[in-house]
Amino acid sequence: MEAELFPRERTVIAPGAVHMPDWLDPDAQRRLLDSCRQWARPPAGLRTVRTPGGGTMTARQVCLGWHWYPYGYARTVVDGDGAPVKPFPAWLGELGRRAVADTLGPEEAEGAAYDIALVNFYDGDARMGLHRDADERSTAPVVSLSLGDSCVFRFGNPETRTRPWTDVELRSGDLFVFGGPSRLAHHGVPRVHPGTAPPGLGLRGRLNLTLRVSGFPAATG
């Protein structure tokens, strides 16, 4: 990305919702992309998500730790190949806690046992409608990491799918964390800007990882 006239800075978008530009350096982005490529392989790999109304989500998805389907979690890909969900690696949980400590402070990160990752891949004109991440039992902050093409990330309010909202440009390497009063805010991706990924990354399209704490008892599911 060209040098900015004004450097992008940490911004509080709403109470408990923080955008931290360039949190992952180019090496960290490449390593995370390599992992995403592994996770995307079958079994339990990248899939098209079908919604109960008969539609499909345009972003394709792979899950770690717990498998998300509309609208719940399971230990196997109940709406796909039926394989066990891939494990959630300990290093990703550490990354999640560090992300929360760097944005909301160390107290917020304490005890946040991240155990779910949803990895969304946007190519073509994929996007994501406004929704809330409300299928988890824990109120721990959601950690969002972006790789590849930049996008418009729409961050709204917990009450309605309508305004007020704030449109934030998320670029490769950016971190966005939402917790506290913003944990259940509506959010979505109305637009991805094709061809804007850093040339050295080697990704066409956009990947987003959200890390979440399930709050589920370990033995169920």
Ligand X SMILES: O=C(O)CCC(=O)C(=O)O
Pick between residue 55 and residue 106 the one whose CB is nearest to ligand X: 55
Minimum gap (Å) between residue 78 Cβ and ligand X: 18
Pick between residue 52 and residue 217 the one whose CB is nearest to ligand X: 52
- Nearest CA to 116 among 164, 53, 72? 72
Q: How many residues at the interface with ligand X, by CB under 6 A?
A: 10
Per CB under 6 A, which of residues 174..213 are in contact with ligand X? 187, 189, 208, 210
Pick between residue 61 and residue 108 the one whose CB is nearest to ligand X: 61
Pick between residue 44 and residue 142 the one whose CB is nearest to ligand X: 142
Enumerate residues 6+ apart whose C-beta is below 8 A from 21. 8, 9, 10, 171, 173, 174
Phi, psi of 30 (to 5 degrees): -65, -40
Minimum gap (Å) between residue 85 Cβ and ligand X: 15
Tell the burial category of 1 from Cβ atoms under 10 Å away from its Cβ (0-12, 13-18, 19+): middle
Residue 86: both structure tokens together: 């891939």
Per CB under 6 A, which of residues 115..174 are in contact with ligand X? 118, 120, 128, 133, 144, 153
Rounded distance between C-alpha atoms, residue 121 and residue 116, angstroms: 16
Q: Are residues 104 and 175 in contact, defined by beta-carbon separation less than 8 angstroms?
A: no
Q: Is 58 in the site for ligand X (CB under 6 A)?
A: no
Minimum gap (Å) between residue 100 Cβ and ligand X: 17
Q: Which chain residues interact with ligand X by CB under 6 A?
A: 118, 120, 128, 133, 144, 153, 187, 189, 208, 210
